[in-house]
Amino acid sequence: MRLPSSLISSKYMVITTICIVLVIAIYSYIFNVDILVTLFNLDLKWLTLSILLALASFLLECIRLRYMVKLVGGEIGLVDVVKARAIGTLIAYITPSSMGGEPARAYIINLHSGIGFWKAFGVTLIEAYVDAITVCFVALLLSIKYIPLSIFITLTCAYTIVAVNLLLFVALKVKSFSKFIEKFRERYFKSIEDKFNTKLNLTDVIEGIRSLFKRGFSIIIAITFLRHFASIFSIYFVGLAVMDNSSLVRCTEAYFFSSSIGIIPTPGASGALEYGLSITLPPSQVVVIRLINYTLTILLGLLSVILVLKQLKNHSSLH
């Protein structure tokens, strides 16, 4: 198998970078944030701790995904699941679509675990479902306090919770909704079939989804919240690095607001994340958080792409 070249598009990478740079520049201008002065005056010990916690959050995502693969009968090494997560996150980041990272993660999981692309895809859909539901549920509760400033978050969270649960219900009742599923396939899965040269196997997707609800789901939720807590403390330590002052409560609110609104499909979640973070955090902290988020996503993703391409090249040379 080969890594579909259309997944990692330099064009999308450039567009995403331009969007993020422009949004950060405009945001900094509006809120009078001197980016260079802010960066040069960062407290390096708190900044380092923030980056380490951001990496810890990413590692917990990888551990969760590895556990989920095991629940459906597959085995995958930690290094390989790290590559799957990093590449999936990168592609979701640079693709202006709500369906970006899951197929890429499924591809890497299939490559190393042998459970099949579509069963792996079902696993990644539940992974995305758990992230969306947990952040949107908490953000919905927290956003009530800040209405009308947070009204967009309130509406987005309510819509997301209803929509994803409705889709999950439809998926698990596939025999009763076969015509709907076929229309859904034509609209959302045709591009995945073309990129990966594979025909949709809905049975495997559903099997992957159902397996995760039968056992171990509470552990998946627990790991998810551990991952959320690591990200919250990462944001908290950015506040200490920027201004030697930070509120854990406000950082918690900012994290859930930005994570829930980040579901909106814009390149690099530009604009959406800034809005979510800005409801409770000062502008200088928002700018540094976004720079860390973007840099880590790109570096981890590109490094993983290089490793996968090298591995596939070596595999091809042996045959």
pLDDT band at 318; cut points 50, 70, 90: low
Q: Please check whether residue 164 lies inside any domain of the structure.
A: yes
Structural domain includes residue 251: yes
Count of C-beta atoms within a 10 Å radius of residue 315: 12
Radius of gyration of the chain (CA): 20
pLDDT (tens digit per residue) in 46-91: 999 999 999 999 999 999 999 999 988 888 899 999 998 988 888 8
Residue 67: inside a domain: yes
> Average pLDDT of 305-315?
73
Tell whether 124 is covered by a domain. Answer: yes
Residue 292 structural domain:
10-318
281 within some domain: yes
Specify the pTM: 0.85
Neighbours of 239 (CB within 10 A): 24
Report yes or no on 5 lying in a domain: no
In a domain, residue 1? The reply is no
Specify the number of domains making up the chain.
1
Question: What is the distance between the terminal CA atoms of the chain, rounded to a whole angstrom?
Answer: 12
Specify if 2 maps to a domain: no
CA distances to 116, 124, 176, 180 from 173, rounded to whole Å, are: 22, 19, 6, 11
**What percentage of the chain has pLDDT greater than the value 90?**
31
Q: Provide the CA 158 distance to its chain's centre, in angstroms.
A: 19
pLDDT at 196 > cutoff 80: no
